[in-house]
Amino acid sequence: MSDLTGEIIDNRYQLIRQIANGGMASIYEALDTRLDRKVAVKIMHPHLAQDDAFVSRFIREAKAAAALSHPNIVAVQDQGWNQNGVPAVFLVMELIEGHTLREYLNERGRFEIKDAINYLTPILSALSAAHALGIVHRDIKPENILISKEGRIKIADFGLARGELIGSTMTAESSVILGSVSYLSPEQVQRGVADSRSDVYAVGIVAFEMLTGEKPFIGDSPIQIAYMHVNQDIPALRSKRKEIPEALDSLISRATDRDPDKRPRNAGEFLASLEAISIDLDPKKNQLKLDLDLPVEPIREKPRGKVKKIVEEVIEKTTEVIEDTKTLKRSEEKKHKSSKRVRRNRKVAVVLAIVLGFGGWYTLIGPGSRIVVPSTVGGSYNDALTAFNPLGITNVIVQKRFDEEISKGTIIESIPPGGGRIDSGGSVTLIISKGPERYTIPALKGLTPGAAKSAIEKYPLAFGKVIEEFNSNIPKGFVITSTPVAGSQVKRDSVVNIVVSKGVETIPVVSYIGKSGEQALNELTSAGFNVQSTFAFDEKVLAGAVISQSPAGDTSIAKGAKIALVVSKGSAYVYIPNIFSIEEAKAVRALKDLELKVIVKKLGSKKLKKVTNISPKVGSKVKRGSTVTITVG
């Protein structure tokens, strides 16, 4: 489509500059001359404006957005047909001066958690209003989320919207699946159906990209990415970024669940959960306080130290008594007479000396010389050695056993237990936890079911069911995967199911020759084929209909196979229009829109020249690309 900059549409909207150009329409910055304000004008390409079906869909886009009144949705202000000048079907919207969320992602990478929530809240608020009216956007992606210079977030492009108020509408170009494949929900890819939960899925993917700085799946082709969305779970946010709160991780996981029934039912429910998390993250709530449950240091008995202390106390007291006795004795010598008190103290000293001697023999040589085993339960092997070495316990026997509650490497019990006694040189047995009893699922991919069963039964695991699925990569009769997957840690006697390939799935294909090329593209793509469309002139087949199809219809073809369509561009010939008395620039533009080459001959000195002659003559049938000579004067 030629650039219409400078044209006045509907005697009201003066086009200032082209700001975007797509497969269906071009968007211009324009001036509303009636209200003296800038607007955005979306003009359908001329070749589509002749198709009633496309025009109807274009109008339904206007109705989709006009049915919504929300501060975070781009407002539609007008729609119509340009009756004067260049023929055009147009749509007028508010002009958002700023950038798209995609540009912000490209510049900033991942967002801070609070910033991401601040962006998601208005997005969900806008979609909540749409869902309340039964309208589903169906094409949420960063490119359709606008951020104005003032910071206002706006959702644009309800061109794929669907709802009771607007009927069914979709737009597509050749070889492109409807919507952006990185944000399509599994049900849109598989069945071509979408509801409010599909928008929830797309917002979840946008949230994933904002919080991690990357898309969940990267592939070599759109079909490969779509296949990943259907067959693989979106990675957990915390696997990419540890500081993300578990509640937010859980919410985004629910929103991007492959099963629509497990997602929030609509954007309103999604928004309510997000706002609850936002409140929990309020720094005034002191959410950063972390209470750590640290293991208590085990209390160890030190009997030898206690004995030593008691002996020291007895010796000290005995020394004091003896010292007192000596003093009294000297006093006696001076007085040449002994008192009853002195004689009593002497007896006490003798008794204490006997007790002290017996205690020393019991502790150092007799039965008391047995070692008291300290308590080591709850500690590690190294902790036990640290406690044992000062006591001379060197013969330590280690036994290990599984325990579901006590972590690996922690002492469960000792024999004898803490407080028990052993002879010098005796042994202590420590029972140390091996942690929970777990076994690793072996790699089974590519094995036969028999070989997979043998590999599983090498462990204390149970062989379960054999599930068959179509697969384009694994040959028929070989294992695709297992449940639980290879590398998983499972309990004893856990059941392991295997998925075995049924080979490549074949699907019957009908012939689309003579039918709508758009219908063929949508139906074949939805069925899982890689469709490639090319276009050619044809004098017998109407524009937009299929001329040929390869492989041919009425056969069964492997799912995912390539199907080539040749779609008619209509006749290769056009008729020379009547452009007499039309200004030179408009005449040249009209002829070029018909894919004709133009030679201009100028006569006279007028600044504004108009067509005075045309060759070939008006109404002549000529081939596209032919040269037309016009005389202006």
Q: What is the pLDDT of residues 306-330, one digit of tens each?
A: 444 444 444 444 444 444 444 444 5
* pLDDT for position 341: 57
**What span, in angstroms and rounded, lies between the C-alpha atoms of 549 and 563?**
7
Write the pLDDT tens digit of every residue in 345-357: 666 566 666 656 6
Coil, strand or helix: which one is 384? helix
Residue 162 pLDDT level (bands cut at 50, 70, 90): very low
DSSP reduced 3-state for 25: strand
Q: What pLDDT is stored for residue 465 in this prediction?
A: 93
Q: Cα separation of 210 and 204, whole Å?
A: 10
Rounded distance between C-alpha atoms, residue 11 and residue 84, angstroms: 7
3-state secondary structure of 166: coil
d(CA 204, CA 270): 9
> Alpha-carbon distance 400 to 381, whole Å?
11
What CA–CA distance (Å, rounded) separates 623 from 625? 6
The total of other beta-carbon atoms located within 10 Å of residue 608's CB is 8
Neighbours of 336 (CB within 10 A): 6
pLDDT for res 310:
43
Burial of 357 (0-12, 13-18, 19+ CB in 10 A): exposed
pLDDT band at 542 (very low <50, low <70, confident <90, very high): confident
Q: Is the pLDDT of residue 399 over 50?
A: yes
* Alpha-carbon gap, residue 549 to 517, rounded angstroms: 10
DSSP structure class, residue 38: E
The pTM of the full predicted model, rounded to 2 decimals, is 0.45
Burial 274-298 (b: 16+ CB within 10 A, else e): beebbeebeeeeeeeeeeeeeeeeb
Q: Is 320 helix (H, G, I), strand (E, B) or coil?
A: helix
Question: Taking 70 as the threshold, does the pLDDT of residue 190 lie above it?
Answer: yes
What is the per-residue pLDDT across 61-83, written as a single tens digit (0 to 9) for each? 677 677 788 899 988 888 888 87
Confidence at 369, pLDDT banded by 50, 70, 90:
low
Average pLDDT value for residue range 560-584: 90
The predicted structure's pLDDT at residue 302: 42
Q: Confidence band (pLDDT; 50, 70, 90) for 139? A: confident
CB proximity list for 593: less than 8 A, separation 6 or greater: 1, 2, 46
Measured distance CA(485)–CA(118) in Å, rounded: 37
- Among all residues, which ones are annotated catalytic? 139
Other C-beta atoms closer than 10 Å to the C-beta of 415 total: 14
Q: For position 281, what pLDDT does the model report?
A: 84
Q: How confident is the model at residue 284 (pLDDT cuts 50, 70, 90)?
A: low
User: Of 394, 389, 395, 393, nearest to 370 (Cα)?
Assistant: 393
Average pLDDT of 321-347? 51
Highest mean pLDDT among 223-227, 251-255, 412-416, 547-551: 251-255
Burial class of residue 594, CB neighbours in 10 A (0-12, 13-18, 19+): middle
If we measure between CA atoms, which residue out of 276, 253, 278, 271 comes closest to residue 129? 271
Q: How far apart are CA 254 and CA 234, in angstroms?
A: 10
Element (H, E) at 517: helix 517-526
200-215 per-residue burial string, b: 16 or more CB within 10 A, e: under 16: bbbbbbbbbbbbbeeb
pLDDT top residue among 414 and 369: 414
Q: Average pLDDT of 19-31?
A: 84
Helix (H, G, I), strand (E, B) or coil at 416: coil
- Kindly calculate the radius of gyration of the chain based on its CA atoms and give it in whole angstroms: 43
> What is the H or E stretch that residue 255 is in?
helix 246-255
pLDDT band at residue 227, thresholds of 50, 70 and 90?
confident
> What's the confidence (pLDDT) of residue 480?
93
pLDDT score for 307? 42
